[in-house]
């Protein structure tokens, strides 16, 4: 009997052909008869194909029968768990994976799938710890060390990811990319000395600067006080590095401009911003016409006809133009013992898109599932709380979805002097596409105009509590302003409120340096010193808070 590669390939090809001609049920029946006398290796090869048909109810049934035939074949158990997970049966998939790992604790595919399952279910702490434990058992390579650290970072457990990088470096897995990853993680954790140490080690080791934007990260690790700081020469040297991509060059120009701004070299900072923004706009285009069309559609929208009942969990959505004080507001509110700051969560955007493309805005089942998914990523698996912050600024375009899913939600609308906001946007190189409008003053003006129109529309039409928070007031009177905001939201006074950030607080935005310092007022009116260098500020933006 031929059980070689050709025989396996023929079986798989015949199964696909039979399924296309006569449907799944007869195709599965024929395959099972053909496999009756075949060895387990042939079953396993066919099982991999069948696992990709997770939408087929018969896929799980066939895998269960295969397991009955070959109960010791661990990979069959894995494929069954994979099918259960793909079909949305999370509890069955988790049970099957844990049973499998009880028999083979080092099964790499099962460990990865279980970690993904836990993360997607909002159990970020458990997912991150599982990923770290798995990496420790496998004595990882450079690639899987970076992949594991990135997975843990996306679980919002930067301290654990930093621990992994340190273990790798001390354990002999030395690579400049691991230093770069460790430096980025230390930045988000506010550990600026450690960040600089790792970033310089990455540079010294020859890290690929087209992948790791180390100069830009260095600029965010401190506030400069003198042009004699060695980073100025480092940035200038990199600007002469012809091996850098356009994107990497732009990031260095933003970094040097930030350093020049720190020391008061206004002329050079403004010139570098112009160059950097021209490059950024060329590689990250944004269409004001497309944006205006989207706003026009939303201006005809109100809350859907169906609203879910309120939950005991109260989401706090901090929205507004980026760079309008959303991070500062989240950090200060998050110091209350019953408030959890979850940073910028991507899930509401995903949910809104799925509901819209599937026309499920008034589908009770779809709305309940959407709310369950979002709540899971709010709650996570750390200490429970009553209020949870999502500070994604551009969620202002999704407040109709918020009103349908979370009628108890509190919305904080951050406002800041428009010229200061425009300058702050123009001076940043944004990692996410949400910031692609920020590289041209005309585009910033168009984006801001749409934001203003939409927020006014939502205030008139949505049954949501929307609270206005002015950046200038927050910066000048932080304690009093936050206390008044808490009272409006309904957050009781708390003797456990802390006056500084907990050690492992994560700030994964361009405000990471400012948010870890005492609140200061030097950014108020900052645009005035650039008035002669960037005349678009006065021409396009009113000098008012809005």
pLDDT for res 301:
85
Residues 6+ apart with CB under 8 A from 417: 471, 472, 524, 525, 527, 543, 544, 545
pLDDT for res 3:
46
Q: Take residue 344 and report the two structure tokens written for it.
A: 């910028």
CATH 1.25.40 residue ranges for the chain:
1-104
For the cut 90, the answer to whether the pLDDT of residue 151 exceeds it is yes
Q: What is the pTM of this model?
A: 0.88
pLDDT for res 513:
47
For the cut 50, the answer to whether the pLDDT of residue 2 exceeds it is no
For the cut 70, the answer to whether the pLDDT of residue 164 exceeds it is yes
**Count of Cβ atoms closer than 10 Å to residue 544 Cβ:** 9
CATH 3.40.50.300 residue ranges for the chain:
291-540
For the cut 70, the answer to whether the pLDDT of residue 191 exceeds it is yes
CA distance 302 to 476: 36
Pick the CATH number of 1-104 from 1.10.3470, 1.25.40, 1.10.8, 1.20.144: 1.25.40
Q: Average of pLDDT values for 336-348?
A: 94
pLDDT for res 274:
98
Residues 6+ apart with CB under 8 A from 456: none
For the cut 50, the answer to whether the pLDDT of residue 1 exceeds it is no
Sheet holding 387-390, edge to edge: 339-341, 387-390, 314-320, 410-415, 465-470
Closest CA to 57 of 11, 13, 12, 88: 88
For the cut 80, the answer to whether the pLDDT of residue 502 exceeds it is no
CA distance 212 to 207: 7
pLDDT band at 253 (very low <50, low <70, confident <90, very high): very high
pLDDT for res 262:
96
Q: Average of pLDDT values for 25-33?
A: 89
CA distance 2 to 5: 9
| 545 against 155, higher pLDDT | 155
pLDDT band at 304 (very low <50, low <70, confident <90, very high): low
Pick the CATH number of 291-540 from 3.90.870.20, 1.10.3720.10, 3.40.30.10, 3.40.50.300: 3.40.50.300
| 458 against 26, higher pLDDT | 458
Q: Average of pLDDT values for 205-209?
A: 97
CA distance 120 to 496: 32
Q: How far is CA 113 from CA 81, 84, 147, in A?
A: 9, 11, 14
pLDDT for res 500:
47
For the cut 50, the answer to whether the pLDDT of residue 177 exceeds it is yes
Q: Average of pLDDT values for 195-212?
A: 97
Express each pLDDT in 436-475 by its tens digit.
Answer: 999 999 999 999 999 999 999 999 999 999 999 999 999 9
For the cut 70, the answer to whether the pLDDT of residue 129 exceeds it is yes
pLDDT for res 53:
81
Express each pLDDT in 400-410 by its tens digit.
Answer: 999 999 999 99
Coil/strand/helix, residue 465: strand
pLDDT for res 76:
95
**Mean pLDDT over each residue of the chain, to the nearest integer:** 91
The residue length of the chain stands at: 546
CA distance 188 to 160: 12
Q: Determine contact, residues 446/295, Cβ cutoff 8 Å.
A: no
Q: Take residue 147 and report the two structure tokens written for it.
A: 């992949």
Write out the DSSP string of 231-298: HHHHHHHHHT-TTS-HHHHHHHHHHHHHHHHHHT-HHHHHHHHHHHHHHHHHHS---HHHHHHHHHHH
Express each pLDDT in 382-399 by its tens digit.
Answer: 999 999 999 999 999 999
Express each pLDDT in 34-80 by its tens digit.
Answer: 988 889 998 998 888 888 887 778 889 999 999 999 999 999 999 99
pLDDT for res 20:
86
Coil/strand/helix, residue 389: strand
- Considering the chain, what percentage of its residues have pLDDT values greater than 90? 75
For the cut 80, the answer to whether the pLDDT of residue 168 exceeds it is yes
Three-state SS sequence of 93-114 = HHHHHHHHHHHCCCCHHHHHHH
CA distance 317 to 309: 18
For the cut 60, the answer to whether the pLDDT of residue 26 exceeds it is yes
């Amino acid at each position: 009997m031929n059980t070689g590669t050709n025989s396996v390939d023929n079986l798989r090809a015949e199964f696909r052909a039979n399924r296309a001609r006569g449907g799944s049920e007869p195709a599965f029946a024929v395959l099972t008869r053909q496999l009756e006398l075949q060895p387990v290796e042939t079953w396993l090869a066919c099982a991999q194909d069948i696992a990709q048909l997770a939408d087929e109810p018969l896929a799980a049934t066939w895998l269960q029968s295969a397991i009955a035939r070959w109960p010791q074949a661990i990979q069959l158990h894995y494929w069954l768990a994979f099918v259960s997970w793909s079909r949305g049966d999370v509890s069955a998939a988790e049970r099957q994976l844990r049973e499998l790992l009880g028999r083979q604790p080092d099964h790499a595919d099962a460990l990865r799938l279980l970690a993904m399952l836990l993360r997607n279910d909002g159990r970020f702490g458990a997912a991150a710890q599982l990923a770290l434990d798995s990496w420790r058992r496998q004595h990882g390579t450079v690639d899987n060390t970076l992949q594991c650290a990135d997975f843990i970072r996306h679980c919002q457990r930067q301290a654990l990811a930093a621990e992994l990088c340190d273990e790798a470096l001390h354990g002999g897995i030395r690579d400049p990319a691991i230093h770069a990853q460790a430096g980025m993680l230390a930045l988000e954790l506010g550990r600026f000395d450690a960040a600089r140490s790792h970033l310089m080690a990455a540079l010294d080791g020859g890290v690929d600067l087209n992948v790791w934007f180390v100069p830009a990260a260095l600029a965010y690790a401190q506030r400069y006080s003198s042009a004699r700081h060695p980073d100025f020469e480092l940035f200038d040297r990199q600007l002469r590095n012809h091996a850098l991509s356009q994107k990497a060059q732009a990031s260095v120009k933003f970094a040097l401009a930030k350093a020049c701004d720190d020391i008061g070299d206004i002329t050079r900072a403004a010139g570098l911003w112009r160059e950097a923004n021209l490059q950024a706009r060329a590689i990250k285009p944004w269409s004001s016409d497309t944006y205006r069309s989207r706003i026009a559609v939303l201006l005809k929208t109100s809350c859907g006809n169906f609203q879910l009942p309120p939950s005991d969990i109260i989401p706090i959505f901090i929205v507004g133009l980026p760079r309008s004080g959303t991070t500062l507001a989240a950090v200060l509110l998050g110091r209350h013992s019953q408030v959890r700051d979850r940073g910028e969560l991507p899930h509401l955007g995903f949910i809104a898109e799925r509901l819209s493309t599937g026309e499920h805005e008034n589908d009770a089942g779809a709305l309940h599932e959407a709310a369950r998914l979002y709540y899971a990523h709010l709650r996570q698996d750390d200490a429970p709380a009553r209020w949870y912050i999502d500070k994604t600024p551009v969620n202002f375009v999704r407040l109709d979805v918020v009103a349908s899913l979370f009628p108890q939600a509190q919305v904080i609308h951050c406002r800041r002097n428009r010229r200061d906001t425009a300058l702050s946007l123009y001076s940043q190189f944004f990692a996410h596409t949400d910031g692609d409008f920020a590289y041209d003053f005309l585009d910033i003006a168009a984006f801001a105009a749409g934001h203003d129109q939409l927020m006014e529309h939502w205030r008139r039409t949505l049954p949501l509590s929307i609270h206005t928070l002015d950046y200038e007031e927050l910066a000048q009177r932080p304690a009093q302003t936050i206390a008044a905001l808490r009272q409006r939201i309904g957050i009781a006074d708390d003797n456990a409120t802390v006056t500084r950030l907990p050690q492992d607080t994560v700030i994964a935005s361009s405000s990471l340096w400012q948010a870890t310092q005492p609140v200061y007022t030097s950014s108020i009116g900052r645009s005035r010193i650039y008035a002669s260098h960037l005349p678009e500020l006065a021409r396009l933006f009113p000098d008012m808070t809005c």
